[in-house]
Structure 1
Amino acid sequence: MRAECSTGITTISFVSVFTLALASGDLWTGGMETTVTTLRWGIAYLLYHPTVQKKCYEEILKIFGDEQPCYSRRKQLPYVEATIAELQRVTNVLPWAIPHRTMEDVEIMGFHLPKGTVILPQYGTVHCDTHYYPEPEKFRPER
């Protein structure tokens, strides 16, 4: 392998292609699962919050009219974007983040974490923190 690297010519092995296929499948499945879960919760929450549903519909209609909505113009839909963010906050679609590492020594609440410490942020804890979200159990896209 080192000889291949020094010449700039490498051989793709079955193992590396297989590993790439598995990793791609993991990424695809992970993205698909969070999307499907958000849609399911979205349907449920919008059924119980018809005023939010109406505001989303009116915003989409105002921006797109009879046109097909497109992802590239989503920033023109701030209420719809806020509704999606609030859905993901309230329903805790992804309770844990991917592992991160501290970039430098840091102290959090009296605990010393040296540079390079692996941390697993727990979104659910932040999403229910009344300091950041008053009445965190309530679904309010207007936040």
Structure 2
Amino acid sequence: MARDVQFTFDCADPAALAAFWAEALGYRLQAPPPGFDSWEQALDAFGVPPERRNDAAAVIDPDGSRPRLFFQRVPEGKQAKNRVHLDVRAAPGLDGQARMAALEAEAERLVSHGATRLQRHEPEPPLAAGHIVMADPEGNEFCPD
């Protein structure tokens, strides 16, 4: 049986990282539970103290077809290279210089939202189409691909 999937990020600032990934992927912040006009209103009703209100955040695909991303605060910082990373499909159907130009444009856009550019890999046909390695605002590697 097929299952839905959610990607979970351990992080220091769930709200900020959720906002970054919402921008990067065209997602939106998850709405508060039914019956509440805002997360602040819901958290007040649930008795969540102010210092715990950034313990978690989530973003969702507006169309509901792609996975939810969940961000949870953890006390430790990032320790090493990710074993799994997201590829942001920014140049579907393109190859060569057209592909790399689309990836460069996406990399510039993401840098303007807090990402860091790490490395560019040139196309090496027939197997390597080229990509750019980046890090989100907390150092998690990902690739415009």
Same fold (TM over 0.5): no
**Structure that is richer in strand per residue:** 2
**Structure that is richer in helix per residue:** 1
**TM norm structure 2:** 0.21
Rg larger for: 1
**TM norm structure 1:** 0.21
